[in-house]
Amino acid sequence: MRGWLKPYAACVIALAGVHPAGGATPTDAAAQNKQCIDLAAAHQIVAGSRNARLYPDQALSQMKADKSFKFSETELKGIVNNVYFGGASDIGQPMAVYQAVYDACRKGGTDPRWKPLQ
């Protein structure tokens, strides 16, 4: 998983109150999946704004006006900054951003036993 997705995956798991390593009830799993879908969709929308050449503050305003998302302003700013300036800025197509964020969220991060090569 890309390093820029780790904070989002951890945030979503914390918001959903479940851990991906099992023990979650079907209700918990559904809640986690919904959180992952919302997070990925928010990134996708911001990526579309970026590709349409909107300024970051315009993308933030658009996201704040969309009442279907329940993210705080701080979280929305993090999403916008990630898509415009962070690791997601390397991913061109909005659907590819969605898929990368969703996959990272569902997996819950990289295997903690993995270490970077020296």
Instruction: Quick: pLDDT tens for 12-59.
Output: 433 333 344 445 577 788 888 999 999 999 999 999 999 999 999 999
- The least confident of 25-29, 89-93, 104-108 is 25-29
pLDDT band at residue 107 using 50, 70 and 90 as cut-offs: confident
> Residue 13's pLDDT is what?
39
Residue 18: predicted pLDDT? 35
Q: Rounded to two decimals, what is the model's pTM?
A: 0.72
CA atoms within 13 A on the CB side of 65: 8
Residues 6+ apart with CB under 8 A from 33: 106
Q: What is the structure's pLDDT at 116?
A: 76
CA distance 40 to 12: 10
CA distance 43 to 58: 14
Q: Which residue did the predictor score with more confidence, 95 or 27? A: 95
Rounded CA-CA distance 4/113 in Å is 19
pLDDT, tens only, 68-78: 989 999 999 99
